[in-house]
Amino acid sequence: MGDSAMDFASLSTLLPYVGIGFAAQLVDGALGMAFGVICNSLLVGVLGVPPVLASARVHVVECFTTASSGLSHLYHRNIDKRLFLKLLVPGVIGGLMGAYLLTSIDASVIKPFVLGYLALIGIYLFGYGLFWPPKPREAKHVAPLGFVGGFLDAAGGGGWGPVVTSNLLVQGVEPRKVIGTVNSVEFFLTIAVSAMFIAHIGIADLAGPTLGLIIGGVVAAPLGAYAARHIPVKPMLVFVGVVLSATSLFGIWKALGW
Protein backbone atom coordinates (compact mmCIF):
# COMPACT_ATOMS: atom_id res chain seq x y z
CA MET A 1 0.00 0.00 0.00
CA GLY A 2 2.77 2.34 0.95
CA ASP A 3 4.73 1.54 -2.20
CA SER A 4 1.65 2.19 -4.37
CA ALA A 5 1.07 5.55 -2.73
CA MET A 6 4.73 6.45 -3.25
CA ASP A 7 4.57 5.41 -6.91
CA PHE A 8 1.43 7.51 -7.43
CA ALA A 9 3.08 10.51 -5.74
CA SER A 10 6.15 10.11 -7.94
CA LEU A 11 3.97 9.87 -11.05
CA SER A 12 1.93 12.95 -10.10
CA THR A 13 5.16 14.88 -9.54
CA LEU A 14 6.42 13.82 -12.96
CA LEU A 15 3.23 14.63 -14.90
CA PRO A 16 3.70 18.43 -15.15
CA TYR A 17 7.11 17.87 -16.72
CA VAL A 18 5.67 15.33 -19.14
CA GLY A 19 3.04 17.91 -20.13
CA ILE A 20 5.63 20.65 -20.63
CA GLY A 21 7.86 18.38 -22.72
CA PHE A 22 4.85 17.33 -24.80
CA ALA A 23 3.68 20.90 -25.49
CA ALA A 24 7.18 22.19 -26.27
CA GLN A 25 8.03 19.35 -28.65
CA LEU A 26 4.68 19.68 -30.42
CA VAL A 27 5.41 23.33 -31.23
CA ASP A 28 9.09 22.68 -31.97
CA GLY A 29 8.16 19.94 -34.41
CA ALA A 30 5.85 22.33 -36.25
CA LEU A 31 8.20 25.35 -36.32
CA GLY A 32 11.70 23.86 -36.06
CA MET A 33 12.33 26.04 -32.99
CA ALA A 34 11.10 27.06 -29.52
CA PHE A 35 11.47 23.81 -27.49
CA GLY A 36 13.88 25.45 -25.06
CA VAL A 37 12.08 28.77 -24.62
CA ILE A 38 8.68 27.09 -24.09
CA CYS A 39 10.07 24.58 -21.59
CA ASN A 40 12.01 27.20 -19.68
CA SER A 41 9.17 29.70 -19.65
CA LEU A 42 6.77 27.14 -18.17
CA LEU A 43 9.33 25.67 -15.75
CA VAL A 44 10.45 29.04 -14.37
CA GLY A 45 7.30 31.12 -14.81
CA VAL A 46 4.63 28.56 -13.83
CA LEU A 47 6.30 25.80 -11.77
CA GLY A 48 8.79 28.16 -10.08
CA VAL A 49 11.90 26.12 -10.94
CA PRO A 50 15.17 28.06 -10.36
CA PRO A 51 16.56 29.32 -13.70
CA VAL A 52 19.82 27.36 -13.49
CA LEU A 53 17.96 24.07 -12.85
CA ALA A 54 15.43 24.79 -15.57
CA SER A 55 18.11 25.57 -18.16
CA ALA A 56 20.14 22.52 -17.14
CA ARG A 57 17.13 20.21 -17.49
CA VAL A 58 16.17 21.64 -20.86
CA HIS A 59 19.69 21.26 -22.25
CA VAL A 60 20.06 17.67 -21.04
CA VAL A 61 16.79 16.79 -22.79
CA GLU A 62 17.93 18.59 -25.93
CA CYS A 63 21.04 16.39 -26.07
CA PHE A 64 18.68 13.57 -27.07
CA THR A 65 16.31 15.54 -29.31
CA THR A 66 19.03 17.42 -31.21
CA ALA A 67 21.08 14.24 -31.75
CA SER A 68 18.11 12.60 -33.43
CA SER A 69 17.31 15.74 -35.40
CA GLY A 70 20.91 16.33 -36.48
CA LEU A 71 21.36 12.78 -37.77
CA SER A 72 18.12 13.06 -39.70
CA HIS A 73 19.21 16.33 -41.33
CA LEU A 74 22.62 14.84 -42.13
CA TYR A 75 20.94 11.90 -43.86
CA HIS A 76 18.72 14.22 -45.91
CA ARG A 77 21.67 16.52 -46.76
CA ASN A 78 20.11 19.57 -45.14
CA ILE A 79 23.40 20.81 -43.63
CA ASP A 80 25.43 23.66 -45.13
CA LYS A 81 29.06 22.90 -44.12
CA ARG A 82 30.27 26.50 -44.33
CA LEU A 83 27.36 27.82 -42.27
CA PHE A 84 27.82 24.94 -39.80
CA LEU A 85 31.48 25.84 -39.18
CA LYS A 86 30.72 29.55 -38.88
CA LEU A 87 28.11 28.88 -36.18
CA LEU A 88 29.75 26.01 -34.28
CA VAL A 89 32.68 27.52 -32.36
CA PRO A 90 31.10 30.92 -31.56
CA GLY A 91 27.85 29.17 -30.53
CA VAL A 92 29.61 26.77 -28.14
CA ILE A 93 31.75 29.55 -26.62
CA GLY A 94 28.68 31.74 -26.12
CA GLY A 95 26.79 28.81 -24.57
CA LEU A 96 29.59 28.03 -22.09
CA MET A 97 29.79 31.68 -21.06
CA GLY A 98 26.02 31.88 -20.62
CA ALA A 99 25.95 28.70 -18.52
CA TYR A 100 28.81 29.95 -16.34
CA LEU A 101 27.02 33.25 -15.78
CA LEU A 102 23.78 31.51 -14.82
CA THR A 103 25.51 29.23 -12.29
CA SER A 104 27.36 32.18 -10.75
CA ILE A 105 24.38 34.41 -9.93
CA ASP A 106 21.76 33.96 -7.21
CA ALA A 107 18.48 32.54 -8.57
CA SER A 108 16.29 35.23 -7.00
CA VAL A 109 18.38 37.94 -8.69
CA ILE A 110 18.57 36.41 -12.17
CA LYS A 111 14.99 35.05 -12.36
CA PRO A 112 13.20 38.31 -13.35
CA PHE A 113 15.86 38.98 -16.02
CA VAL A 114 15.53 35.47 -17.48
CA LEU A 115 11.75 35.81 -17.60
CA GLY A 116 12.06 39.28 -19.10
CA TYR A 117 14.28 37.86 -21.85
CA LEU A 118 11.77 35.07 -22.51
CA ALA A 119 8.93 37.61 -22.68
CA LEU A 120 10.91 39.59 -25.27
CA ILE A 121 11.47 36.39 -27.29
CA GLY A 122 7.69 35.87 -27.16
CA ILE A 123 7.03 39.40 -28.42
CA TYR A 124 9.67 38.91 -31.14
CA LEU A 125 8.04 35.67 -32.32
CA PHE A 126 4.63 37.35 -32.27
CA GLY A 127 5.87 40.14 -34.54
CA TYR A 128 7.81 37.66 -36.67
CA GLY A 129 4.58 35.72 -37.18
CA LEU A 130 2.59 38.81 -38.13
CA PHE A 131 5.05 39.71 -40.90
CA TRP A 132 5.65 36.14 -42.13
CA PRO A 133 7.02 35.26 -44.66
CA PRO A 134 10.28 37.23 -44.44
CA LYS A 135 11.84 39.10 -47.36
CA PRO A 136 15.03 37.44 -48.70
CA ARG A 137 18.37 39.09 -47.90
CA GLU A 138 21.99 37.96 -47.90
CA ALA A 139 23.13 36.37 -44.62
CA LYS A 140 25.58 38.52 -42.67
CA HIS A 141 27.37 38.46 -39.29
CA VAL A 142 26.90 34.70 -38.86
CA ALA A 143 29.65 34.16 -36.24
CA PRO A 144 28.45 36.97 -33.89
CA LEU A 145 24.90 35.68 -34.32
CA GLY A 146 26.06 32.21 -33.24
CA PHE A 147 27.81 33.63 -30.16
CA VAL A 148 24.80 35.71 -29.08
CA GLY A 149 22.42 32.82 -29.77
CA GLY A 150 24.52 30.39 -27.73
CA PHE A 151 24.94 32.82 -24.83
CA LEU A 152 21.24 33.66 -24.62
CA ASP A 153 20.26 30.01 -25.06
CA ALA A 154 22.26 28.95 -22.00
CA ALA A 155 21.70 32.02 -19.81
CA GLY A 156 18.01 32.29 -20.69
CA GLY A 157 17.26 28.58 -20.80
CA GLY A 158 16.41 28.60 -24.52
CA GLY A 159 16.49 30.76 -27.61
CA TRP A 160 19.01 29.22 -29.99
CA GLY A 161 16.30 28.47 -32.55
CA PRO A 162 14.28 31.69 -32.23
CA VAL A 163 17.42 33.86 -32.29
CA VAL A 164 19.57 32.06 -34.89
CA THR A 165 17.06 30.23 -37.10
CA SER A 166 14.65 33.15 -37.43
CA ASN A 167 17.47 35.64 -38.08
CA LEU A 168 18.97 33.52 -40.87
CA LEU A 169 15.53 32.94 -42.39
CA VAL A 170 14.89 36.68 -42.38
CA GLN A 171 18.23 37.16 -44.15
CA GLY A 172 17.07 34.88 -46.93
CA VAL A 173 19.12 31.70 -46.39
CA GLU A 174 17.45 28.59 -47.83
CA PRO A 175 15.00 27.36 -45.12
CA ARG A 176 15.92 23.68 -45.51
CA LYS A 177 19.62 24.45 -44.99
CA VAL A 178 18.94 26.89 -42.13
CA ILE A 179 16.85 24.46 -40.09
CA GLY A 180 19.15 21.50 -40.77
CA THR A 181 22.36 23.36 -40.02
CA VAL A 182 21.14 25.24 -36.95
CA ASN A 183 19.63 22.07 -35.45
CA SER A 184 22.88 20.17 -36.06
CA VAL A 185 25.03 22.84 -34.40
CA GLU A 186 22.57 22.85 -31.49
CA PHE A 187 23.55 19.26 -30.62
CA PHE A 188 27.16 20.31 -29.91
CA LEU A 189 25.94 23.41 -28.09
CA THR A 190 23.65 21.40 -25.79
CA ILE A 191 26.39 18.85 -25.03
CA ALA A 192 28.80 21.63 -24.00
CA VAL A 193 26.22 23.55 -21.98
CA SER A 194 24.90 20.40 -20.25
CA ALA A 195 28.45 19.41 -19.26
CA MET A 196 28.99 22.89 -17.77
CA PHE A 197 25.76 22.72 -15.76
CA ILE A 198 26.42 19.17 -14.50
CA ALA A 199 29.95 20.17 -13.44
CA HIS A 200 28.49 23.00 -11.33
CA ILE A 201 25.24 21.57 -9.91
CA GLY A 202 25.64 17.79 -10.26
CA ILE A 203 23.30 15.25 -11.82
CA ALA A 204 21.06 14.35 -8.84
CA ASP A 205 18.59 17.24 -9.21
CA LEU A 206 18.13 16.58 -12.92
CA ALA A 207 17.00 12.95 -12.90
CA GLY A 208 13.21 12.84 -12.33
CA PRO A 209 11.98 16.06 -13.98
CA THR A 210 14.34 15.56 -16.92
CA LEU A 211 12.88 12.09 -17.50
CA GLY A 212 9.40 13.67 -17.57
CA LEU A 213 10.47 16.20 -20.20
CA ILE A 214 12.02 13.42 -22.31
CA ILE A 215 8.86 11.27 -22.11
CA GLY A 216 6.63 14.18 -23.10
CA GLY A 217 8.93 15.15 -25.95
CA VAL A 218 9.17 11.61 -27.33
CA VAL A 219 5.39 11.15 -27.24
CA ALA A 220 4.80 14.47 -29.01
CA ALA A 221 7.46 14.00 -31.71
CA PRO A 222 5.21 12.20 -34.25
CA LEU A 223 2.43 14.77 -33.67
CA GLY A 224 4.92 17.59 -34.17
CA ALA A 225 5.86 16.19 -37.57
CA TYR A 226 2.16 16.02 -38.45
CA ALA A 227 1.66 19.61 -37.26
CA ALA A 228 4.55 20.77 -39.44
CA ARG A 229 2.67 19.59 -42.52
CA HIS A 230 -0.84 20.73 -41.61
CA ILE A 231 -0.65 23.85 -39.38
CA PRO A 232 0.25 27.17 -41.10
CA VAL A 233 3.44 28.80 -39.80
CA LYS A 234 2.00 32.32 -39.37
CA PRO A 235 -0.78 31.58 -36.81
CA MET A 236 1.49 29.14 -34.97
CA LEU A 237 4.22 31.78 -34.52
CA VAL A 238 1.66 34.34 -33.32
CA PHE A 239 0.16 31.82 -30.88
CA VAL A 240 3.55 30.81 -29.47
CA GLY A 241 4.55 34.46 -29.12
CA VAL A 242 1.40 35.23 -27.11
CA VAL A 243 1.81 32.16 -24.86
CA LEU A 244 5.50 32.83 -24.17
CA SER A 245 4.94 36.51 -23.40
CA ALA A 246 1.94 35.85 -21.14
CA THR A 247 3.67 33.01 -19.26
CA SER A 248 6.88 34.96 -18.75
CA LEU A 249 5.10 38.14 -17.63
CA PHE A 250 3.09 36.06 -15.15
CA GLY A 251 6.36 34.60 -13.85
CA ILE A 252 7.83 38.09 -13.45
CA TRP A 253 4.72 39.16 -11.53
CA LYS A 254 5.15 36.17 -9.16
CA ALA A 255 8.93 36.62 -8.82
CA LEU A 256 8.62 40.29 -7.86
CA GLY A 257 5.75 39.54 -5.44
CA TRP A 258 3.28 41.97 -6.99
**Residue 215 backbone phi and psi in degrees, to 5:** -60, -50
In-domain check, residue 17: no
Return the amino acid letter for 174.
E
pLDDT at 74: 85
pTM: predicted TM-score of the whole model, two decimal places: 0.77
In terms of pLDDT, which residue wins out, 101 or 3?
A: 101
The alpha carbon of 255 is separated from its chain's Cα centroid by a whole number of angstroms, namely 21
Q: What are the C-alpha distances in Å from 121 to residues 38, 55, 108, 243?
A: 10, 16, 21, 11
Identify whether 58 is part of a domain: yes
Average pLDDT over residues 174-185: 82
Structure-model confidence comparison of residues 209 and 150, the more confident one:
150
| For the chain, percent of residues with pLDDT exceeding 70 | 87
- Scanning 171-206, the segments in alpha helix (DSSP H) are 175-201
What distance separates the 2 farthest-apart alpha carbons in the chain? Answer: 65
Per residue in 117-160, pLDDT (tens digit) is: 878 888 887 887 887 776 666 667 899 999 999 998 898 877 78
In a domain, 198, yes or no: yes
Averaged pLDDT, 56-81? 85
Q: What is the pLDDT of residues 65-76, one digit of tens each?
A: 788 778 877 888
For the segment 165-192, the average pLDDT, to the nearest whole number, is 83
Cα(239)–Cα(9) distance, integer angstroms: 33
Residue 33 has pLDDT above 60, yes or no: yes
258 lies in some domain: no
Range of the domain at 208: 25-106+130-233
Total domains in the fold of the chain: 1
Supply the pLDDT for residue 84.
94
Domain for residue 99, yes or no?
Answer: yes
DSSP letters for 77-124 = T---HHHHHHHHHHHHHHHHHHHHHHHHS-HHHHHHHHHHHHHHHHHH
Count other Cβ atoms within 10 Å, centred on residue 248: 28
Q: Is residue 1 part of a domain?
A: no
| Plot region of 158 (φ>0 → left; ψ -120 to 50 → alpha; else → beta) | left
Please write the tens of the pLDDT for every residue from 85-126. Answer: 999 999 999 999 999 998 888 767 777 887 788 788 888 878
Instruction: Please give the pLDDT value at position 68.
Output: 78
